[in-house]
Chains A and B, each alone.
Chain A
């Protein structure tokens, strides 16, 4: 199953995504499937603020999770995942900025990586939960690089949503289901 979760900063989207991932994982365990719960952290430990943000997120997750820090090659990680695994990718915005600003990814390259990831989830029957942020609702930004970044991110959101069974917008900790039924 593919799930897409988005919202503003500190909207509660990460904790909602984590709860969702955990309940999918528990369901697999109940059904006696050998399953792992992965957290793919895309943020680089770039400065003290990031270290602190990462620490808060880590404390929230404790022991059940296997955390993988990967700022770039998410495709490689997903290719090693197995049936009934639950993978939470948090968050797409940071991964996109890593690969476009550090590795000069084009939109075509981004779309092809994401499409491969989604296909892997389908083919290998694992659950992929992608968390992102809506960065496109402020006053128009005058910088070309920011506009391009926003455009790329929106294109990816739409491609992911098309393939997702469940699509949720989180506001003030409350989920709104744009696609799929309320199942938690």
Chain B
């Protein structure tokens, strides 16, 4: 599993597209749910999951305990890694860096920012490779 993280419009997709040939793209921005990966992941392709901040935000509404949310995503990462090995394909997570800038006034925004940060840390720990994208350039962090 690989993690590609960076700011909005920083060129994350472009970097993923350059490094893989065929894709199954599961995107919150296209209305996909995170669990859609099971049905969307075509054989022999790289699975790309993007829009985590939206999936996390909808989780925040349903689950009160922050640790439970984090556990749920950790469990998902584990399943993805197992599946990746079974299929001998690649999984790429594209995450938005939302942890910089002004502290949001809205309480829910602050909660989202916190949990998205933790989940990114968890993803980075599980990932074999982590890339930070900045203005169309990327640097390997792990």
Known: A139-B113, A140-B96, A150-B9. A161 touches B102 (CB 8 A): no
How far is A179 from B136 in the complex, measured between Cα atoms in Å?
A: 12
In A108-158, which residues have CB < 8 Å from any B CB?
Answer: 134-140, 147, 150-151, 154-155, 157-158
Contacting residues, chain B, for A140 (C-beta < 8 A):
8, 53, 96, 98
In this complex, the interface size class of chain A, counting residues with CB under 8 Å from chain B, is 20 to 34
Contact of B99 among A137, A147, A178 (CB under 8 A): A137
Chain A contact surface mostly: mixed
A4 to chain B: closest residue by CB: B135
How far is A81 from B105 in the complex, measured between Cα atoms in Å?
A: 46
Q: Mark B28-59, 1 if CB is under 8 A from A, else 0.
A: 00000000000000000000000001000000
Count of chain B residues with a beta carbon within 8 Å of a chain A beta carbon: 22
28 A-B pairs (CB sep. < 8 Å) = A134-B100, A134-B134, A135-B101, A136-B8, A136-B9, A137-B7, A137-B97, A137-B101, A138-B100, A138-B101, A138-B102, A138-B104, A139-B112, A139-B113, A140-B98, A150-B9, A151-B8, A151-B9, A154-B9, A154-B11, A155-B9, A157-B135, A158-B11, A158-B136, A161-B135, A161-B136, A167-B135, A179-B137
Q: Which 8 A-B pairs have the closest CB atoms?
A: A138-B101, A136-B7, A158-B136, A154-B9, A137-B100, A137-B7, A157-B135, A136-B8
A-side residues, CB < 8 A to B, are 6, 8, 134-140, 147, 150-151, 154-155, 157-158, 161-162, 167, 169, 178-179
